[in-house]
A and B are shown apart, each in its own frame.
Chain A
Amino acid sequence: MESKDQQELAQAQGDAVAMPASPDGTPAGAPVVAGRPVVRLPGLDLRYGSNAVRLTLRQWIVVGLVVVLAMSLVPPLWERLEPLEDAPDYRVPFELSNDYWLYQRWCRRSAGRGDVLVLGDSVVWGLYVLREETLSHCLTAAAGGRRRFANLGVNGTYPAALDGLIDYYGGDIAGRDVVLHFNLLWLSSPQHDLQEERAGEFNHPALVPQFWPNIPAYDESLSRRVSHVLDRNVPFFAWANHMRTSRLGRGDLPTWSLEHPYDNPAQAVRLEAPAKADERHEPPVPWDHPSRRIGKQAPAWVPPAWVLLERSIQWRLFQSVVRTLRERGNRVVVVVGPFNEHLLEKNNLAVYRRLRDQAVAHLRGQGVACCVPPTLPSELYGDSNHPLAAGYARLAEWLVEQEEFATTVMGSR
Chain B
Amino acid sequence: MLFHTWTFAVFFLIVYTGFRLLRGTRAEMPWLLGASYIFYGAWNPLYLVLLLYSTAVDYFAITRMARSSRRGLWLGLSIGNNLALLGFFKYRRFVAQNVNALLDWAGVRLAVPMVDDILPWLTADVNSLVAALGLHYTVPGLGTLPVGISFHTFQAISYAIDVYRGQTPRESSFIRYATFVSFFPQLVAGPIERSTNLLRQLGNTNPITRDDIADGLSLFLVGLFKKVALADYLGQYVDKVYAVPGDHHAPALVLATFAFAWQIYFDFSGYTDMARGLGRLMGFRLMLNFHNPYLADSLGDFWSRWHISLSTWFRDYVYIPLGGNRSGTWATYRNMVLTMVISGVWHGAEWGFVIWGLLHAAGRAATRELEQTPFYRERVPHLVKQALVFAFVTFTWIFFRAKTWGVASLVVERIFTSGWADPEFPMLAMAMILAVWAYQHAYESRSARGVLELAPVRVALAVAMAVYLVTFLAPGAAQAFIYFQF
19 A-B pairs within 8 Å (CB atoms) are namely A12-B285, A16-B196, A19-B200, A44-B196, A45-B291, A48-B219, A53-B222, A53-B462, A54-B215, A59-B458, A63-B459, A224-B475, A240-B472, A253-B428, A254-B233, A254-B473, A255-B474, A258-B240, A264-B427
What are the residues of chain A within 8 A of B214 when measuring CB–CB?
A: 54-57, 59-60
Tell whether, in the assembled complex, residue A44 and residue B215 are in contact, meaning their CB atoms are under 8 Å apart. no
With both beta carbons as reference points, the residue of chain A lying nearest to B2 in the complex is identified as A223
Known A-B contacts A49-B219, A224-B475, A240-B470; A21 and B458 likewise in contact (beta carbons under 8 Å): no
Tell whether, in the assembled complex, residue A52 and residue B453 are in contact, meaning their CB atoms are under 8 Å apart. yes
Please report which residues of chain B, range 207-226, place their CB below 8 angstroms from some CB of chain A when the two chains form the complex.
210-211, 213-215, 217-219, 221-222
What are the residues of chain A within 8 A of B425 when measuring CB–CB?
A: 261
Give the contact stretch, choosing among B99-107, B161-169, B351-359: B161-169
Report how many residues on chain B are interfacial, defined by Cβ distance under 8 Å: 77
Tell whether, in the assembled complex, residue A71 and residue B474 are in contact, meaning their CB atoms are under 8 Å apart. no
With both beta carbons as reference points, the residue of chain B lying nearest to A214 in the complex is identified as B136
What are the residues of chain B within 8 A of A15 when measuring CB–CB?
A: 197, 200
What are the residues of chain A within 8 A of B416 when measuring CB–CB?
A: none
Tell whether, in the assembled complex, residue B440 and residue A50 are in contact, meaning their CB atoms are under 8 Å apart. yes
Give the contact stretch, choosing among A22-30, A165-173, A276-284, A390-398: A22-30
With both beta carbons as reference points, the residue of chain A lying nearest to B235 in the complex is identified as A254
With both beta carbons as reference points, the residue of chain B lying nearest to A231 in the complex is identified as B475
Most buried by B among A24, A47, A48: A48
What are the residues of chain B within 8 A of A222 when measuring CB–CB?
A: 6-7, 10
Verify if A94 is at the interface (C-beta below 8 Å from B): no
Known A-B contacts A55-B462, A226-B7; A50 and B288 likewise in contact (beta carbons under 8 Å): yes
What are the residues of chain A within 8 A of B457 when measuring CB–CB?
A: 52
Known A-B contacts A24-B166, A252-B472; A258 and B459 likewise in contact (beta carbons under 8 Å): no
Known A-B contacts A25-B166, A39-B166, A44-B287; A52 and B428 likewise in contact (beta carbons under 8 Å): no
Known A-B contacts A22-B166, A24-B166, A261-B425; A223 and B459 likewise in contact (beta carbons under 8 Å): no
Q: How far is the CB of B478 from chain A (nearest CB, A)?
A: 7
Verify if B267 is at the interface (C-beta below 8 Å from A): no
Q: How far is the CB of B217 from chain A (nearest CB, A)?
A: 6
Tell whether, in the assembled complex, residue A70 and residue B467 are in contact, meaning their CB atoms are under 8 Å apart. yes
Q: Which of B221, B236, B291, B461 contacts A50 (CB 8 A)?
A: B291
What are the residues of chain A within 8 A of B461 when measuring CB–CB?
A: 53
A70–B461 Cα distance when bound, in Å, is 15
Verify if A51 is at the interface (C-beta below 8 Å from B): yes
A261–B475 Cα distance when bound, in Å, is 22
Q: Which of B168, B221, B426, B462 contacts A257 (CB 8 A)?
A: B426
Q: What's the dominant secondary structure at chain B's contact region?
A: helix
Tell whether, in the assembled complex, residue B218 and residue A44 are in contact, meaning their CB atoms are under 8 Å apart. no
Verify if B237 is at the interface (C-beta below 8 Å from A): yes
With both beta carbons as reference points, the residue of chain B lying nearest to A46 in the complex is identified as B285
Q: How far is the CB of B56 from chain A (nearest CB, A)?
A: 23
A252–B290 Cα distance when bound, in Å, is 29
Contact with A along B146-180 (1 / 0, CB 8 A): 00000000000000000001111100000000000
Q: Which of B194, B222, B229, B424 contacts A49 (CB 8 A)?
A: B222
Q: Which of B210, B276, B308, B427 contacts A57 (CB 8 A)?
A: B210
A-B contact sample (20 more), CB < 8 A, given A12-B285, A21-B166, A254-B428: A19-B200, A22-B169, A23-B166, A44-B312, A46-B286, A46-B287, A47-B288, A52-B453, A53-B458, A53-B465, A55-B217, A59-B459, A67-B463, A67-B467, A219-B136, A240-B470, A251-B474, A252-B476, A257-B428, A264-B427
Verify if A62 is at the interface (C-beta below 8 Å from B): yes
Q: How far is the CB of A124 from chain B (nearest CB, A)?
A: 28
Tell whether, in the assembled complex, residue B196 and residue A244 are in contact, meaning their CB atoms are under 8 Å apart. no
Verify if B142 is at the interface (C-beta below 8 Å from A): no
Please report which residues of chain A, range 46-98, place their CB below 8 angstroms from some CB of chain B when the two chains form the complex.
46-57, 59-60, 62-63, 66-67, 70-71
Tell whether, in the assembled complex, residue A51 and residue B222 are in contact, meaning their CB atoms are under 8 Å apart. yes
Tell whether, in the assembled complex, residue B312 and residue A227 are in contact, meaning their CB atoms are under 8 Å apart. no
A244–B218 Cα distance when bound, in Å, is 27
With both beta carbons as reference points, the residue of chain A lying nearest to B293 in the complex is identified as A50
What are the residues of chain B within 8 A of A261 when measuring CB–CB?
A: 424-427
Contact with A along B446-461 (1 / 0, CB 8 A): 0001001101011101
Tell whether, in the assembled complex, residue B292 and residue A244 are in contact, meaning their CB atoms are under 8 Å apart. no
The 4 A-B pairs of least Cβ separation, nearest first, read A25-B166, A226-B6, A252-B474, A223-B5
What are the residues of chain A within 8 A of B463 when measuring CB–CB?
A: 63, 66-67, 70
Verify if A298 is at the interface (C-beta below 8 Å from B): no
A49–B269 Cα distance when bound, in Å, is 10
Q: How far is the CB of B176 from chain A (nearest CB, A)?
A: 16
Tell whether, in the assembled complex, residue A26 and residue B166 are in contact, meaning their CB atoms are under 8 Å apart. yes
Tell whether, in the assembled complex, residue A67 and residue B218 are in contact, meaning their CB atoms are under 8 Å apart. no
Give the B-binding residues of A (Cβ under 8 A): 12, 15-16, 19-26, 39, 41-42, 44-57, 59-60, 62-63, 66-67, 70-71, 197, 219, 221-224, 226-227, 230-231, 236-237, 240-241, 243-244, 251-255, 257-258, 260-265
Tell whether, in the assembled complex, residue B167 and residue A244 are in contact, meaning their CB atoms are under 8 Å apart. no
Tell whether, in the assembled complex, residue B285 and residue A52 are in contact, meaning their CB atoms are under 8 Å apart. no
Please report which residues of chain B, range 49-85, place their CB below 8 angstroms from some CB of chain A when the two chains form the complex.
none
A59–B429 Cα distance when bound, in Å, is 29
With both beta carbons as reference points, the residue of chain B lying nearest to A64 in the complex is identified as B466
Q: Which of B240, B291, B458 contacts A54 (CB 8 A)?
A: B458
Verify if B443 is at the interface (C-beta below 8 Å from A): yes
Tell whether, in the assembled complex, residue A49 and residue B276 are in contact, meaning their CB atoms are under 8 Å apart. yes
Verify if B297 is at the interface (C-beta below 8 Å from A): no
Q: How far is the CB of A412 from chain B (nearest CB, A)?
A: 44
Q: Which of A52, A252, A262 contacts B452 (CB 8 A)?
A: A52
What are the residues of chain A within 8 A of B286 when measuring CB–CB?
A: 46
Q: How far is the CB of A10 from chain B (nearest CB, A)?
A: 14
What are the residues of chain A within 8 A of B221 when measuring CB–CB?
A: 53
Tell whether, in the assembled complex, residue B455 and residue A59 are in contact, meaning their CB atoms are under 8 Å apart. yes
What are the residues of chain B within 8 A of A60 when measuring CB–CB?
A: 213-214, 217-218, 462
Tell whether, in the assembled complex, residue A257 and residue B273 are in contact, meaning their CB atoms are under 8 Å apart. no
What are the residues of chain B within 8 A of A23 when measuring CB–CB?
A: 166
Verify if B392 is at the interface (C-beta below 8 Å from A): no
What are the residues of chain B within 8 A of A63 when measuring CB–CB?
A: 459, 462-463, 466
Verify if B439 is at the interface (C-beta below 8 Å from A): yes
What are the residues of chain B within 8 A of A66 when measuring CB–CB?
A: 459, 463
Q: How far is the CB of B74 from chain A (nearest CB, A)?
A: 14
Known A-B contacts A49-B219, A67-B466; A257 and B288 likewise in contact (beta carbons under 8 Å): no
A15–B199 Cα distance when bound, in Å, is 13
Tell whether, in the assembled complex, residue B166 and residue A48 are in contact, meaning their CB atoms are under 8 Å apart. no
Known A-B contacts A21-B166, A70-B467; A52 and B449 likewise in contact (beta carbons under 8 Å): yes
Most buried by A among B213, B426, B452: B426
Q: How far is the CB of A32 from chain B (nearest CB, A)?
A: 14
With both beta carbons as reference points, the residue of chain B lying nearest to A74 in the complex is identified as B471
Tell whether, in the assembled complex, residue A50 and residue B443 are in contact, meaning their CB atoms are under 8 Å apart. yes
Tell whether, in the assembled complex, residue A255 and residue B236 are in contact, meaning their CB atoms are under 8 Å apart. yes
Verify if B350 is at the interface (C-beta below 8 Å from A): no
Q: How far is the CB of B308 from chain A (nearest CB, A)?
A: 6
A226–B9 Cα distance when bound, in Å, is 10
Q: Which of A51, A71, A258 contacts B426 (CB 8 A)?
A: A258
Q: How far is the CB of A169 from chain B (nearest CB, A)?
A: 17
Tell whether, in the assembled complex, residue B218 and residue A54 are in contact, meaning their CB atoms are under 8 Å apart. yes
Tell whether, in the assembled complex, residue B6 and residue A227 are in contact, meaning their CB atoms are under 8 Å apart. yes
A261–B234 Cα distance when bound, in Å, is 12
With both beta carbons as reference points, the residue of chain B lying nearest to A37 in the complex is identified as B166
What are the residues of chain B within 8 A of A52 when measuring CB–CB?
A: 443, 449, 452-453, 457-458
Q: How far is the CB of B84 from chain A (nearest CB, A)?
A: 26
With both beta carbons as reference points, the residue of chain A lying nearest to B288 in the complex is identified as A45
What are the residues of chain B within 8 A of A262 when measuring CB–CB?
A: 427
A328–B46 Cα distance when bound, in Å, is 51
Most buried by A among B9, B315, B443: B443
Tell whether, in the assembled complex, residue B472 and residue A253 are in contact, meaning their CB atoms are under 8 Å apart. yes
Tell whether, in the assembled complex, residue B169 and residue A45 are in contact, meaning their CB atoms are under 8 Å apart. no
A66–B462 Cα distance when bound, in Å, is 10
Q: How far is the CB of A204 from chain B (nearest CB, A)?
A: 15
A62–B443 Cα distance when bound, in Å, is 23
Q: How far is the CB of B452 from chain A (nearest CB, A)?
A: 4
